[in-house]
Amino acid sequence: MEECCSTKPKKQHDHSEHDGHDHEHSHDTDDKTIFQMFLPAIISFSLLLIGIAFDHFIENNWFNGWIRLVWYLVAYIPVGIPVLKEAYESIVQGDVFSEFFLMGIATIGAFGIGEYPEGVAVMLFYSVGEVFQAIAVTRAQSNIKSLLDQRPDEVTILKDGKPQIVNAETVNIGEIIQLKSGEKLGLDGELISEKGSFNTSALTGESKPDTKIKGEKVLAGMINLNTVSQIKVTAAFKDSKLSKILELVQNATSQKAPTELFIRKFAKIYTPIVVFLAIGITFLPYLFVDDYQFKTWLYKALVFLVISCPCALVISIPLGYFGGIGAGSRNGILIKGSNFLDVLATIQNVVMDKTGTMTEGVFKVQEVHFNDEVHQDEILKLINALESQSTHPVATAIHQFVGEVDHSIQLENVEEIAGYGLKALINGKELLVGNFKLLEKFNIQFDFKPENIVYTLIAVAYNKKFVGYLTIADSIKDDAQLTINKLKSLGVKTTMLSGDKTSVVKFVADQLGIENAYGDLLPEDKVNKVKELKSKNQTVAFVGDGVNDAPVVALSDVGIAMGGLGSDATIETADVVIQDDQPSKIPMAINIGKQTKKIVWQNIILAFAVKGIVLILGAGGIATMWEAVFADVGVALLAILNAVRIQRMKF
């Protein structure tokens, strides 16, 4: 199995390469109507029915000899030539024993022994199965294609105050885009208009408007809902969040599930064995049977070939996984590969961060407590200046509380200490802003018990002295409780790990019913907690922001990133990206994995069971070419119909 948390570049998506089942025509389904796709089969079927009528129901003395042969050849050509062409191309590429080769041998052999109708019927039903598969794949891709259509190729930029339409790929960072009402944004940027309302459904699946104010990020794919807005470009076309998401989804099928990899390897070994067994069935009875008839045993061998064709497996299994990835995309869950669907199906523990995962991550300053040795307004200005060096949500809360940063304050030797806070020199005096562990690290004495307060605490030390603290509160997400309830119903255990103070973490965990909760953790502490779970041979999914928690994401069986739109690094490191920041998508992703795996195994059992039964009947001389057609194409069609069910499921 491929490494769960691979950050290696994925191969460019290529359907034929990935599913081991090369159907050139399946890529053309967008350009053809359903009728055009079925037309060769309709022609062949009509000629076959007429031929059977002449053979058995309409008395005549002319439908024999070369006329009969030519009639069935004409019926065979519309459906047979494309498959024989595929077989030839596979042989040229070194893949001799393909399913196309099996179909070619079986049908040409049938013609060779005069079983013309069977030869046409096998190829006809096989081709109908191919068309159904092409339609199913197209529908499975529809969610991804709708995503691909969200990125406009042209944008309107302002040059010397005049609007000018240009190719989005040519726009430089810093240029101004003018976005009219109803237009989609082509590149990531910063809103420079006072306010704007945007439909973000292309990125999150949520159609409710998202109001942005001046200075906030707006992303490619968002639709402007009201007045004309102006956006300053902050990322090149290829570097936009939407481009990264599209690349992720397009490449998703390159990450194969173990089941899928096994079937591909199985087919490569299985098919040549089937061909050689068919040769044995044809000739070996000559050594053991008194009344050996070549035509009889060749017919049995051809029946065996058709029954043994692995179509149902090589078509339906990749299609099942592809459908699972598509179902995830439709629900705003980007799954980087079918291997992660398999892992999601087996998850026993979900370990989650607190801030931004189960809580909104939008902090607000509640209280300010400073001693008499400092002037409150002055110390807050210093704190605000230092926090402006950080992107942490706490920094944003302090900035919103204090106001504009005083840029006249000279900061020196600014240092962000992971898991602790910030440190800097101001006028030669040391300023520390972070948790109380930061004060302990620098041997700052304080006569205060932080564990007595439920809120998040920001401790402040200035000039080697503890001068006070701020309390900051965060609110629990609306669907956090539903998330925990659903995880429990799936039999998944829950654990919360956070760098926030233990009392806050326990308080949130108790409210939600999370089984285990640990606070005051550094990144390496989180790693150790996950190692403890994995030492019990249990599968672990870690849910967080995918950046600060990269070591834990790498260690877990599957890393799930919340709100991946906020961070490029999240999209790179996580195995699953939840686009709309809703924790309820965590159990949904696990459920999609479970349903996908269930469908895949249903198809494997169905294919082997039916083929096994018909092979036994064939060995006893009971099964004819018609039963063989059902064992191959019939089962393949049933497997395809079963595989596409996942696209209609509600999770």
The DSSP secondary structure of 312-357, one letter per residue, reads: HHHHHHHHHHHHHHHHHHHTTEEES-HHHHHHHHT--EEEE-STTT
Asked whether 47 and 71 are in contact (CB, 8 A), the reply is yes
Q: Note if 447 is an active site residue.
A: no
Q: Please state, in angstroms and as integers, the Cα–Cα distance from residue 106 to each residue in 80, 90, 319, 626, 629, following that order.
A: 11, 17, 26, 13, 11
Residues 6+ apart with CB under 8 A from 99: 21, 267, 271, 309, 310, 311, 314
**Catalytic option among 188, 353, 545, 632:** 353
- Classify each residue of 290-310 as buried b or exposed e, where b means 16 or more C-beta atoms within 10 Å of its C-beta: eeeeeeebbbbbbbbbbbbbb
Q: How far apart are CA 285 and CA 274, in angstroms?
A: 17
CA nearest 246: which of 333, 148, 141? 148
CA nearest 253: which of 313, 306, 323? 323
Q: How far apart are CA 252 and CA 648, in angstroms?
A: 20
Pair type for strands 349-352 and 493-497: parallel
Residue 77 burial (10 A CB sphere; 0-12, 13-18, 19+): middle
Strand order in the sheet with 223-224: 209-213, 195-199, 223-224
Beta pairing partners, 466: 461
What token pair was written down for 301? 């061998």
Q: How far apart are CA 417 and CA 353, in angstroms?
A: 19
Q: How far apart are CA 526 and CA 543, in angstroms?
A: 12
CB atoms within 10 A of CB 402: 20
What token pair was written down for 635? 């089962």
The DSSP secondary structure of 361-416, one letter per residue, reads: ---EEEEEEE-TTS-HHHHHHHHHHHHTT--SHHHHHHHHHH-S--TTS-EEEEEE
Torsion of CA 169, 171, 172, 173, to 10 degrees: -100
| Spacing of C-alpha 383 from chain mean position | 42
Q: How far apart are CA 651 and CA 648, in angstroms?
A: 10
Asked whether 441 and 406 are in contact (CB, 8 A), the reply is no
Residues 6+ apart with CB under 8 A from 85: none
Q: Among positive and negative, which fits the CA dihedral 28, 31, 35, 36?
A: negative
Using DSSP's 3-state secondary structure scheme, residue 289 falls into coil
Catalytic residues: 353
